[in-house]
Structure 1
Amino acid sequence: MANAIYQREIINQSGSKMLSLCRSQLEKAKVAFREHDSDLAEEVINTENRVNALDLKIEEDCEKFLALYNPVAIDLRFIMAVRKINFDLERIADHAYSISKYVVDLDEPIEPHLFEKLQFEKMYTTISTMFDHITAAYEEKDVKAARKVFKKDKILDQINRESFSIIEEEIRKDSKVIRQSLILFSVVKKLERVGDLMKNIAEEVIFYIDAEVLKHKRKK
C-alpha cells in the first residue's frame, strides 16, 4: 500500500512538471513570435524532445500503476485524469512548437499594429490566467479554480470569431501584409485551440476530484 502511495505521488509530481514545462514552452513561443526572436524559437523547438520524453514517462508510469495496483475509486479517477491531462498538455506544447517554427521560417517580423488589431496580447494574458487556474486546481485540488477556466475560454472564442474580418480588412488596406496576416491568423487559431485544451484539462481535474463528468453536459 505504501509503495502504491509513493508511485502515485511520483506520477502526480510528473504531472505538475509537465504542466510547468508546457506553460513555459507556450510563453517562450509567445515572446519569440512577438519579438521575432529566432534563438528563443529554436530553444522551444529543441525543448520539444523533453516534452515528448516526459509525455512517454507519464504514460508508462500510469500504465504500470494500473497493472500493479489495480486502483479503484479516487485512485482510478486520478490515473485516468492524469493520462488525459498529459495528452492535452502535450498537444499544447505542439502548438508552441508550431508557433516557434513560424519564427524560424518567416524572414520578416510581424507588423506591430497587426498584433494590436488581433488582440494578441489579450489572448496570451487570458491563457496565462487559465494556466494559473489549472495549476491551482491540479496542485491544490481546487474545483472552483478549475471552473474559472470555462469563462476565460469564452474570451478566446470571441477574439477568434472576430479575427477573420479583421484580417480581411487589413489585407484590403495593404496587400504587402498578406503573408504576415495569414500567419498571425493561423496563430490566433492555435491559441483558440489551446483554450479548448485548457478547458478539457479543467474538466478532467473536476472529474478526478468530484467524480463529476462535464463533457457534453455544458453543451446542452
Structure 2
Amino acid sequence: MRKLLDMGIEQLKKMIREMANGSVEALESARRSIEGDFDSAEEISSRLHIIRSDVLELATELLVRYSPVASDLRFIQSAIDVSYDLYRISRYAMEIERTARIVKGPVELSRKAFPLTEEAVRLSVDAFRELDETLVGRLLELDRIIDDYYLRSLEALNENPEKAADALIMRHLERISDHAKEIGAKVVYIKEGRRM
C-alpha cells in the first residue's frame, strides 16, 4: 500500500512540475507582450486549468484511498494549494497580455518588476520542488520590492492618468508575487508542519 501512495505522490510532483513550467512560460509570454509581442498565455492557462483538475482528482483519490499522515498528508494538501497558485499565475499572465494589447501607455515600473516577479516564481517552484526552506527568505524580500513597485504605480496615476497600463500590469505582477510567496510558505508547512 505504501508503494502505491508513493507512486501517487510522485505523479503529483510530476504534474506540479508541468504546471510550474507552464506558469513560468506564461509569465515570459506576458513579459514579451509589454514589448508588443503577443503570444500564448491564454493557451497555457487553459492547459494548466486541465492539469489542475487532474491534480485535484489524484489528490482526492490519495487522501481517500490511503489516509496519509504527517508529511505525506501535508504534501498532498500543499500540492492542491500550489496547483491553484500556479494556475492563478498563468491567469494573471494572460490578463497582462490582454491589458498590454488593449491599454496603451508607458510601463516603466512593470519593466523593472517583471524580472523580479519571474525570479520569485522560479524561486518558489525550486523551493517547492526541493522542499528548500532557505529560498523562502528571498521570496519574502522579492514580494516586498514588488509590492513597493505596485504602490508606486498607483501613486503615479495621481500625477499622470496615462500610466494606467503600468498600474494595471503592476497589479497583476503583485498578485503573481503573492502566489509565489504562498508556494514558498507551503514548503515550510510540509517540512515543519507550521503555517507562515
* Band of TM-score, shorter chain: over 0.9
Deviation at 1:122, TM superposition (A): 2.1
Larger radius of gyration: 1
1:115-139 Cα shifts (integer Å, max 9, x gaps)? 22xx222211111221232122112
Instruction: Give the one of 158, 171, 176 matched to 2:148.
Output: 158
Report the CA distance between 1:144 and its aligned residue.
Answer: 0.5
The alignment's C-alpha RMSD in Å is: 1.6
Contact map agreement 1:45 1:101 (CA 8 A) in 2: no
Aligned position for 1:5: 6
Q: Does 1:210 align with 2:196?
A: no
Q: Distance in 1 between matches of 2:110 and 2:99?
A: 15
Residue type of the alignment partner of 2:91 = D
Q: In structure 2, what is the Cα distance between the partners aligned to 1:185 and 1:125? A: 17
The partner residue of 2:94 within 86, 90, 97 is 97
Percentage of pairs with the same residue = 22
Work out whether residues 42 and 91 of structure 2, in 8 Å CA contact, stay in contact via their aligned partners in 1.
no
Contact 2:116–2:146 (Cα < 8 Å) also in 1 = yes
**Equivalences for residues 46-65 of structure 1 within 5 A:** 46-65=43-62
- Judge conservation of contact 2:124–2:139 (CA < 8 Å) in 1: yes
Aligned to 1:146: 136
User: Which residue is 1:122 aligned to?
Assistant: 112
- Residue 184 (structure 2) pairs with residue 192 (structure 1): no
Cα 1:104–1:164 change in 2 (3 A) is: closer
**Taking structure 1 as reference, are residues 120 and 104 closer, same or farther at Cα in structure 2, changes over 3 Å only?**
closer
**Displacement of 1:146 after TM fit?**
2.2
Deviation at 1:168, TM superposition (A): 2.5
The letter of the residue matching 1:140 is: E
TM-score by length of 1: 0.83
8 A contact 2:45–2:87 mirrored in 1: no
1:79 aligns with 2:61: no
For the 8 Å contact 1:37–1:103, the answer to whether it is kept is no
Matched positions, count: 195
Tell me if structure 2 keeps the 8 A contact 1:160–1:192. Answer: yes
Partner of 2:36: 36
3-state SS of the aligned residue for 2:91?
helix
User: Corresponding residue for 1:66?
Assistant: 63
Pairing of 1:13-28 with structure 2 (within 5 A)? 13-28=14-29
Listed as ranges, the gaps of 5+ residues in structure 2 are none
| Deviation per residue, 1:19-42 (Å, 9 max, x gap) | 11111101111111x21223x1xx
CA distance in 2 between counterparts of 1:155 and 1:147 reads 13
How big is the shift at 1:162? 1.4
Higher mean C-alpha displacement, 53-62 vs 121-130: 121-130
